Amino acid sequence: MTNSSKSDPSAPTTTANAMWGGRFEAGPDAIMQAINASIGFDRRLAAQDIAGSRAHAAMLAAQGILTNKDAEAIREGLLTVLSEIEAGKFPFRVELEDIHMNVEARLKEIIGEPAGRLHTGRSRNDQVAVDFRLWVRDQCDAAITGLEALMKAFLAQAEAGADWVMPGFTHLQTAQPVTWGHHMLAYVEMFARDRSRFIDARKRMNECPLGAAALAGTSFPIDRHATAAALGFDRPTANSLDSVSDRDFALEFLSVSSICAMHLSRFAEELVIWSSAQFRFVKLSDKWTTGSSIMPQKKNPDAAELLRSKLGRILGATVALFTVMKGLVLTYSKDMQEDKEQTFDAADSLMLGLAAMTGMVGDMTALQDNLKSAAASGFSTATDLADWLVRELGLPFRDAHHVTGTLVAMAEKAGIDLPDLTLAQMQSVHDGIRADVFDVLGVENSVRSRMSYGGTAPDQVRAQIARWKDALK
């Protein structure tokens, strides 16, 4: 395929890109233009690009590299460009490839020659690095805020049901009674770790690559500390090669997002199970469910199911960027243009997921009677019986485990639960068992006894709720 309009009337007639094309006599092929251009997605970096350019221009003026008059024209022109973009009136042009050259070209139309001085002492390599880093940093802040809202929703559920009993599960089989509040707090802990990871990631990415230029720095007497401070960074990056080729900040954001999305997916799965007719542990509001086109009785937990699937999308973005970066020698390669779309999509999916889960948790109703009934089933107090045998009769735990297992088999054969066995039946297995054993076989007594730190006892649950409410003030 050629780019000559003489041999092919349908070929593009664009000339070499005026922003970088001095060496080129002809414009790119239409397919080359399509694969090369990123303006279709990197326009999302517009606010960050303009913020970086304003900081750069102010620094150039302070260093005497730009005149104050040119710097003021650039500042005002960039504000005009930003207002056009925010109003949806900006003329994005594919032939200008990316957000950086679109902004600069429009700036030149507005203020003329001074616009050409803005790029002094920088390159698109460090420009995109700072834009993208600023954008990802903003997403970390949004995720932290979203996680705090979600944690508060779980805390409200925990506080409402601090002493409601429910079954605790291992292998999705009834294990021991726990409290609703304790189960809700488990997710507070999970999402708190996600929050801390986003905070840590933000700290690590808060270094400014602007001024690294193409890869080797610049001979102009720029002040990188000034631009770093102006953009809210802790410091400038320390190596120009690493500055323009690093995408660890995006990889870390995606990795943390994947862990967070996995936690969202785990609770979404619980909501799907719990809201089923077979469990009936929770009732989801009409806001977060849908009906069936053919079965009028259906109330489907579609929001939870969609949230459950978001991990695949976010984890896919993580793997995609790792794959892009794994074989790149220093420094910048055009492959790195593929860093943005998946990061944008993953961030959108995560923020939507956090908001949706916060809404579902806030609206769901725990069906307390059903939870209590289920908590008492499946021999859930068997461990309490074994512990009683150890504590009261001095049996080695393995012997107590064997006695309890024998009693469970006896109850199961009779079609009853452990508390329904008679004292005589229990004493037929071990004659030392006394009547006060029945005190530990009720589910409320079971959960109240779990007073170890972090246990399910209502007093422990309320203490953890108070701790988290104070931490999230």
List beta partners, residue 300.
290
CA separation for the pair 99, 111 (Å, rounded): 18
| Active-site residue flag, 119 | no
3-state secondary structure of 233: coil
Residue 300: DSSP 8-state:
B
Beta-bridged to residue 178, according to DSSP, are 166
If you count DSSP H runs as helices and E runs as strands, how many of each does the chain have, helices first?
A: 18, 6
CA angle 46–52–54, rounded 5-degree value: 100
Contacts 24+ apart (CB under 8 A), 73-81: 73/111, 73/114, 74/107, 74/111, 74/114, 74/115, 74/117, 74/118, 76/111, 77/107, 77/110, 77/111, 77/114, 77/115, 78/50, 78/53, 78/54, 78/103, 78/107, 80/110, 81/50, 81/106, 81/107, 81/110
Q: Which residues pair with 282 in a beta bridge?
A: 366
Helix 397-414 with 382-393: angle, nearest 10 deg: 140
Could you confirm whether 171 is annotated as catalytic?
Answer: yes
Helix (H) or strand (E) holding 176: strand 173-179
Catalytic residue among 4, 171, 219, 452: 171
Point out the catalytic residue in the list 292, 309, 333, 377. Answer: 292
The token pair that represents 76 in the structure block:
């005002």
Q: Which helix (H) or strand (E) holds 365?
A: strand 365-366
Whole-angstrom distance, CA of residue 45 vs CA of residue 24: 28
Instruction: State whether residue 178 is helix, strand or coil.
Output: strand
Q: Please give the Cα distance from 407 to 412 (Å, whole number).
A: 8
Half-sphere exposure of 434 (CA within 13 A, CB side): 7
Question: How many angstroms separate the CA atoms of 190 and 373, rounded?
Answer: 28
Q: Which residues are catalytic?
A: 171, 292
